[in-house]
Amino acid sequence: MAEPSSSAAGWRSQSAWAGVAVSGHLGADGGAGVTVCCLRDVGMATLIAPKRREAALIAAVEARYGMRLPEDPRTVENGGVRAVWAGPDQWLLVTADVSGVETLREVIADLGAVSDQTGSRAVLRVSGRAIRAALAKGCMIDLHDGSFPVGAAALSSIAHIGVHLWRLADGPDGAVFEIAAPRSIAGSFWSWFAASAAEFGCAVVVES
């Protein structure tokens, strides 16, 4: 019997949504009240500042990326890098592609702890006139403007699944949110989201 190759040369990275979501339309006919884009190849890393090094870490990130790490539950972005508050002296750094994580390691050096989360999260970008109504079926927080304005971020749960979510700038159909869920239960999260959004008609785009 041939031994399996130990080389990864023939392996290809796979989206967290492969075999879970399919581009198309879900639920009610007519115009979509919800639009969802299943993202792939998003670079993500957790960043933790050790005690007494917080100021140096914040300064290093600001010098390299031109943005100050948020110290309250919100998100900031500049130059294709987004910093999302994830607790006291902790952040989730989101980049357009996975190469951004290695650049972050170089910038941080020994100023903080960087942990690559690229392969551990499944990310949705959701919007539409009915998106709040769809999310309200399982979301534990109020996502309306007065409570969750543009730039807000939260660690919460949706349908009893722990998520990290943040609000982007509004689009043509109003509020836009990104939701990061554990990749290991992406199927369960999608099952809930698809059922919740179907009532309003849902346009699905799965990045290939």
Q: Looking at domain 24-41+119-206, which of 2.40.10.350, 3.40.190.10, 3.30.450.20, 3.30.1360.120 is its CATH number?
A: 3.30.1360.120
Rounded to whole angstroms, how far apart are CA atoms 137 and 181? 17
What's the CA dihedral at 182, 187, 191, 196 to 10 degrees? 30
pTM for the structure as a whole: 0.90
The residues near 88 (Cβ < 8 Å, ≥ 6 apart) are: none
Distances (CA, A) of 132 to 27, 176, 182, 197: 17, 10, 21, 10
Specify the CATH architecture of the domain 43-116: 2-Layer Sandwich (3.30)
Same fold, 24-41+119-206 and 43-116: no
Rounded to whole angstroms, how far apart are CA atoms 130 and 136? 10
Q: What is the pLDDT of residues 75-133, one digit of tens each?
A: 999 988 899 999 999 999 998 777 777 777 777 777 888 888 988 999 999 999 999 99
Token pair in block for residue 47: 């960043």
Rounded to whole angstroms, how far apart are CA atoms 37 and 55? 36
Q: What is the mean pLDDT of residues 24-47?
A: 92
Tell me the domain boundaries of the chain. Answer: 24-41+119-206, 43-116
Q: What is the pLDDT of residues 127-186, one digit of tens each?
A: 999 999 999 999 999 999 999 999 999 999 999 999 999 999 999 999 999 999 999 999
Q: Strand order of the sheet with strand 90-95?
A: 75-78, 81-85, 90-95, 43-48, 113-116
Token pair in block for residue 59: 């300064």
